[in-house]
């Protein structure tokens, strides 16, 4: 009798239970068509064996002699490896040849796939066997799974990725206790969510994903890093716990995530802890020490690891080779590359396990203390450097670095507070001020700072506390009601006066000036702004200086003195250009555009808006992008260009929604209500404005705009229909309101005016479409970044667009015409 085609441990139910990995199986199938040996690597529980089993079943027909599966999880020596393989192959041993020879003899004439599973405990012996097989058995291909590569010359390494995860959205209510819900249409897009729902339904037949629990399911999958085993163990807990309870208990994931004892899993995978202990046992002492110390980071780069983790058995010179080793063993992973610097990370599960060991060793406080000192030193140096001339590309690179380390800084502040090191926590927050203000981190930064200010206030350094109070007032300016912000600013000003802290006084006064502008207290606002400007110049703080100048310009504009406003803005632009701070310049260009629009200089206004928008989008400054897009849309409305107004106003809503600022969402909905009126869609205008009014009421930020729009709608359709339409969308989730707001009614086609770009503009438009930044375009074409920005502004104006993403497909469309 001929042997069976395979010995794969696949039950009929396995094919039903397997979820996701469709793309991986297709790509791996192609790879096995060209590579003699493929090794699937990855951390424990990532699904290497299950993926390999399904891959082997899929490609079996290519091999006339089938597939032979060898479980090497118990093999730790060369003799055990060879005897296990020989047993599966039924290789005959005798006194005249070794076990290796017997294996080679059994395989030499075969055309099969040799599947070696769980190779990490005997990497060197298995590697030697694989080399011999590849050398002497030309029709055999090898598929292996291991937590580290086998270092065979012909080996192709495939790192098994986590299951796909939904991105963590920015909630429109930053203070909500619940995660933002996952839209139903997205549920099947993400493998991790599909796996959780499938396994949960198997554990409890009545289980369903609903709007109420979808956000919790997505967050569970995120916290478990898309690891299939962990997700399956978590999903099994729905027998006795709700998903909300499972999420809350993930802080103690090693206690929670154990198997139900059904016996389907090998012992090494019946608990999450066992999976990690299996990997941990493979490490030598320096590798273990470094892994434990790396748990203080969420993400890190090599220099940070050398500074924080070296010493006590780990030499700084060994940090790099130890990283290679831990990467090979799938315990750390390459996270991303930022401006040419590689970053690494641990999965949350590995980090929690390593942190347990670090605490047990008694080294936790030392490493966290070193990391706190590292953060304070680097952040303060960067904040001080931002006050001097610094290239725009360097500023952007620094902001991108801080974007990536945002959670690191939150964690190090929490640790500092837990150890009573409040002043160091304040120093971290104050040093992050430029980043928080420019990068729209007001809500997140405000929450962190609030907790620091509330911790031992009497023991805090007076200067640091004054600066932190002033920063808190700045951060809350667009988030809180005016009386609360005013109280914060006054408290900061009193604290600054008491300790003669000029920077804090300047910042507090600038915030008070901005509040006075909003309440139309123009004389009071000018006094505050002028004093703020004086203190900022004394402190050498260009950020507060440009803010005060901007408020003075707005006050002059409000008083009917546009020429004075333009003069102040141009001076502010000079300051920004000296520092190469294009963000400050763009803010001034935006206001200049508003002034030009008020004077009916529409062409100039569009150019200024487009130029400032290009900077805001490059920087990712959500509030500024939303505000500028809204004004550009209203400019088109003022010109009667209704269809052109749609895209910038839609962009305003999308960006506002993403930012999580409900007041920005309200303003965007009001602007879309104005557009709806212009399109003769009065009831749609009422529905949009009704939601905006609710948001403003919740924030205690009333506006005459909502009253004006309602009155206009009543004049079109009468009070009764207005009231009905006003209430139509108010009970809907904001996500549905957004979707309806962006679903514009159809308009009759209008003939498009011919658009002509210069050859240089067309060249730049094609580069923008390829995803190049202004800096990259400037380098490619040997022009200045300012010239590139001007060309892009002209392109936006000519094409009646407001964002780089709108150029997608433009060049190919032009080629077809």
List average pLDDT for each run of 10 residues in the chain, which is 817 residues long: 71 62 89 93 87 91 92 89 90 75 90 93 92 94 92 92 80 56 72 89 86 87 87 86 86 66 54 78 90 94 94 90 90 87 89 90 92 96 91 89 92 95 96 91 90 94 96 89 90 94 95 90 93 92 93 93 94 92 92 92 91 87 88 91 91 85 90 93 94 89 88 92 93 86 69 62 81 76 74 72 59 50
16-60 residue pLDDT tens:
567 888 888 999 999 998 999 999 998 888 889 889 998 998 899
**Taking Cα atoms as reference points, which of 217, 231, 211, 209 lies closest to residue 275?**
231
Q: Are 157 and 132 in contact (CB under 8 A)?
A: no
**Taking Cα atoms as reference points, which of 86, 81, 80, 111 lies closest to residue 101?**
86
**Taking Cα atoms as reference points, which of 45, 58, 54, 44 lies closest to residue 19?**
54
Integer Cα distance of 386 and 790 in angstroms: 25
Q: Are 494 and 505 in contact (CB under 8 A)?
A: no
pLDDT at site 264:
56
pLDDT at site 747:
58
Q: Are 453 and 431 in contact (CB under 8 A)?
A: no
**Taking Cα atoms as reference points, which of 10, 5, 52 lies closest to residue 31?**
52
Q: Is 420 left (phi over 0), alpha (psi -120 to 50) or beta?
A: left
Q: What is the dihedral of CA 267, 271, 276, 282, to 10 degrees?
A: -10
Q: Tokens 């915030």 label which residue?
A: 511
pLDDT at site 1:
44
pLDDT at site 617:
86
pLDDT at site 810:
56
pLDDT at site 748:
45
Q: How distant, in Å, are the alpha carbons of 257, 280, 356, 363, 370 from that of 292?
A: 21, 10, 8, 9, 14
In sequence order, the β-bridge partners of residue 157 are: 39
Q: Reduce the secondary structure of 369-438 to three states and give it as a string.
A: HHHHHHHHHHHHHHHHHCCCCCCHHHHHHHHHHHHHCHHHHHHHHHHHHHCCCHHHHHHHHHHCHHHHHH
pLDDT at site 251:
73
């Amino acid at each position: 009798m001929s042997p069976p085609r395979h010995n794969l441990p696949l039950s009929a139910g396995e094919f039903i239970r397997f979820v996701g990995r469709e793309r991986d199986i297709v790509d791996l199938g192609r790879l096995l068509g060209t590579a003699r040996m493929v090794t699937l690597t990855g951390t424990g529980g990532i699904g290497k064996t299950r993926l390999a089993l399904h891959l082997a079943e899929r490609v079996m027909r290519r091999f006339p002699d089938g597939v032979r599966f060898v479980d090497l999880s118990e093999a730790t020596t060369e003799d055990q490896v060879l005897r296990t393989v020989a047993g599966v192959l039924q290789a005959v041993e005798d006194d005249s040849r070794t076990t290796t020879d017997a294996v080679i003899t059994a395989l030499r004439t075969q055309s099969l796939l040799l599947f070696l599973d769980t190779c990490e405990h005997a990497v060197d012996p298995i590697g030697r066997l694989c080399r011999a097989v590849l050398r002497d058995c030309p029709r055999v291909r090898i598929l292996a799974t291991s937590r580290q590569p086998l270092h065979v010359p012909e080996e192709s390494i495939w790192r098994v990725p986590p299951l796909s995860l939904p991105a963590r959205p920015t909630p429109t209510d930053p203070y909500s206790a619940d995660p933002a819900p996952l839209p139903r249409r997205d549920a099947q897009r993400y493998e991790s969510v599909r796996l959780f729902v499938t396994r949960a339904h198997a554990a409890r037949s009545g289980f369903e994903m609903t709007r109420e629990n979808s956000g919790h399911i997505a967050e569970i999958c995120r916290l478990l890093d898309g690891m299939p085993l962990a997700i399956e163990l978590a999903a099994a807990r729905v027998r006795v716990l709700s998903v909300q309870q499972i999420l809350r208990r993930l802080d103690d994931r090693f206690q929670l995530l154990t198997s139900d004892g059904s016996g389907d899993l090998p012992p090494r995978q019946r608990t999450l802890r066992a999976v990690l202990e299996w990997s941990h046992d493979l490490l030598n002492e320096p590798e273990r020490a470094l892994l434990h110390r790396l748990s203080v980071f969420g993400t890190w780069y090599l220099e940070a690891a050398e500074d924080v983790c070296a010493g006590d058995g780990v030499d700084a010179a060994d940090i790099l080779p130890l990283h290679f080793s831990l990467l090979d063993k799938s315990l750390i992973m390459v996270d991303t590359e930022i401006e040419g610097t590689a970053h690494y990370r641990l999965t949350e599960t590995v980090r929690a396990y390593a942190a347990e060991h670090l605490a047990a060793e008694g080294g936790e406080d030392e490493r966290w203390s070193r990391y706190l000192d590292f953060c304070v030193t680097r952040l303060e140096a960067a904040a001080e450097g931002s006050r001097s001339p610094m290239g725009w590309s360097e500023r952007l690179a620094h902001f991108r670095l801080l974007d990536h380390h945002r959670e690191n800084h939150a964690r190090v502040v929490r640790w500092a507070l837990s150890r009573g090191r409040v002043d160091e926590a304040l120093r971290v927050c104050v040093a992050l001020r430029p980043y928080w203000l420019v990068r729209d981190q007001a809500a997140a930064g405000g929450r962190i700072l609030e907790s620091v200010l509330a911790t031992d206030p009497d023991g805090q350094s007076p200067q640091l506390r004054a600066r932190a109070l002033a920063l808190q007032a700045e951060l809350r300016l667009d988030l809180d009601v005016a009386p609360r912000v005013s109280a914060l600013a006054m408290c900061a000003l009193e604290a600054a006066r008491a300790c003669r802290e000029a920077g804090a006084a300047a910042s507090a006064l600038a915030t008070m000036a901005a509040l006075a502008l909003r309440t139309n207290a123009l004389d009071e606002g000018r006094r505050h702004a002028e004093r703020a400007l004086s203190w900022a110049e004394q402190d050498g703080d260009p950020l507060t200086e440009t803010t005060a100048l901007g408020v003075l310009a707005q006050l002059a504009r409000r008083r009917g003195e546009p020429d004075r406003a333009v003069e102040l803005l141009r001076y502010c632009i000079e300051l920004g250009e000296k520092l190469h701070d294009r963000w400050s310049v763009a803010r001034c260009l935006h206001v200049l555009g508003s002034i030009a629009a008020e004077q009916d200089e529409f062409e100039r206004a569009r150019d200024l808006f487009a130029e400032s928008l290009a900077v805001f989008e490059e920087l990712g400054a959500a509030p500024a992008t939303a505000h500028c897009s809204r004004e550009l849309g209203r400019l088109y409305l003022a010109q009667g260009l209704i269809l052109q107004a749609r895209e910038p106003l839609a962009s305003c809503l999308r960006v506002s929604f993403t930012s999580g600022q409900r007041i920005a969402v309200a303003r965007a909905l009001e602007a879309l209500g104005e557009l709806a009126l212009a399109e003769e869609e009065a009831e749609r205008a009422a529905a949009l404005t009704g939601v905006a009014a609710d948001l403003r009421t919740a924030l205690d930020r009333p506006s005459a705009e909502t009253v004006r729009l309602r009155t206009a709608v009543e004049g079109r359709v009468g009070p009764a229909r207005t009231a009905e339409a006003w209430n139509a969308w108010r009970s809907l989730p904001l996500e549905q309101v957004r979707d309806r707001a962006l679903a514009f009614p159809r308009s009759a086609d209008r003939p498009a005016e011919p658009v002509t770009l210069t050859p240089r503009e067309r060249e730049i438009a094609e580069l923008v479409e390829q995803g190049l930044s202004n800096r990259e375009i400037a380098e490619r074409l040997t022009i200045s970044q300012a010239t590139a920005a001007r060309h892009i502004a002209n392109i936006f104006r000519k094409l009646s667009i407001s964002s780089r993403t709108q150029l997608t497909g433009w060049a190919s469309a032009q080629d077809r015409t």
